[in-house]
């Protein structure tokens, strides 16, 4: 197997491409929807598609392609992917919902106390909907298969 072009590791290259596509899509979407270029979306969490899901699914799929699905390395990759995807759709999404409630509470308290209760807003876009996770996962798998020749060359 040849060394990867970007990181000197073919699997890392494929994972990076999956992450890059997912994050780039978020920037392009903000350009189309909001009619402005929001570069910070490239580094933010949350939104469509889940780059966490695309990254770990590209990793697990690439490991399966290169090393086989009956290997301990593939097992570790699948477990990692499962934990990260569950976290993106479950725990982080719940934390984002809680942040939204706390932000609304902060606005109400600030009004009640004439602005003396003025806290920084919490980040609300932390996790993903099940659809965002599904699309991210499918993106990662697709990227791994599209770059299969790069992985096994």
pLDDT single digits (tens) 59-117 = 999 999 999 999 999 999 999 999 998 887 766 566 666 666 776 777 776 777 776 66
Q: In the chain, pLDDT over 90 holds for what percent of residues?
A: 40
For residue 20, what pLDDT band results from cuts at 50, 70 and 90? very high
* Distance of alpha carbon 82 from alpha carbon 142, whole angstroms: 17
User: Between 22 and 102, where is the model more confident?
Assistant: 22
User: Which of 2-16, 28-42, 49-63, 100-114 bottoms out in mean pLDDT, i.e. has the lowest?
Assistant: 100-114
Judge whether 42 and 122 are in contact, CB under 8 Å.
no
Angle at 108 between CA 105 and CA 114, to 5 degrees: 135
Segment among 10-14, 24-28, 30-34 with least mean pLDDT = 30-34
Q: At residue 131, does pLDDT exceed 60?
A: yes
Structure-model confidence comparison of residues 39 and 103, the more confident one: 39
**In terms of C-beta density within 10 A (0-12 exposed, 13-18 middle, 19 or more buried), how is residue 15 classed?**
buried
Per-residue pLDDT, 72: 97
Question: What's the rounded Cα separation, in Å, for the pair 143 and 18?
Answer: 6
Note whether 152 and 70 are within 8 A (CB).
no
**pLDDT classification of 125: cutoffs 50, 70, 90:** low
- The more confidently predicted of residues 105 and 11 is 11
Phi first, then psi, for residue 75 (nearest 5°) are -60, -45
Map out the domains of the chain as residue ranges.
Answer: 10-152
Kindly state the average pLDDT of the residues 6-26: 90
Distance CA 130, CA 108 (A): 31
Write out the two tokens for 6: 């970007």
Q: Which has more pLDDT, 4 or 145?
A: 145
pLDDT for residue 104: 75
């Amino acid at each position: 197997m040849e060394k990867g072009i970007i990181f000197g590791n073919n699997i890392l290259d494929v994972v990076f491409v999956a992450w890059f596509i997912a994050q780039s899509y978020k920037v392009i979407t903000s350009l189309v929807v909001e009619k402005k270029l929001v570069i910070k979306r490239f580094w933010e969490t949350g939104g469509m598609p889940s780059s966490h899901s695309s990254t770990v699914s590209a990793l697990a799929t690439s490991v399966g392609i290169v090393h086989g699905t009956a290997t301990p390395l593939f097992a570790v990759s699948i477990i990692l992917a499962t934990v990260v995807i569950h976290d993106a759709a479950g725990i982080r999404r719940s934390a984002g919902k809680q942040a939204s409630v706390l932000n609304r509470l902060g606005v109400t308290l600030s009004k009640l106390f004439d602005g003396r209760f003025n806290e920084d807003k919490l980040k609300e876009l932390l996790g993903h909907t099940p659809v965002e996770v599904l699309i991210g996962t499918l993106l990662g798998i697709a990227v791994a298969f599209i770059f299969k020749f790069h992985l096994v060359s």
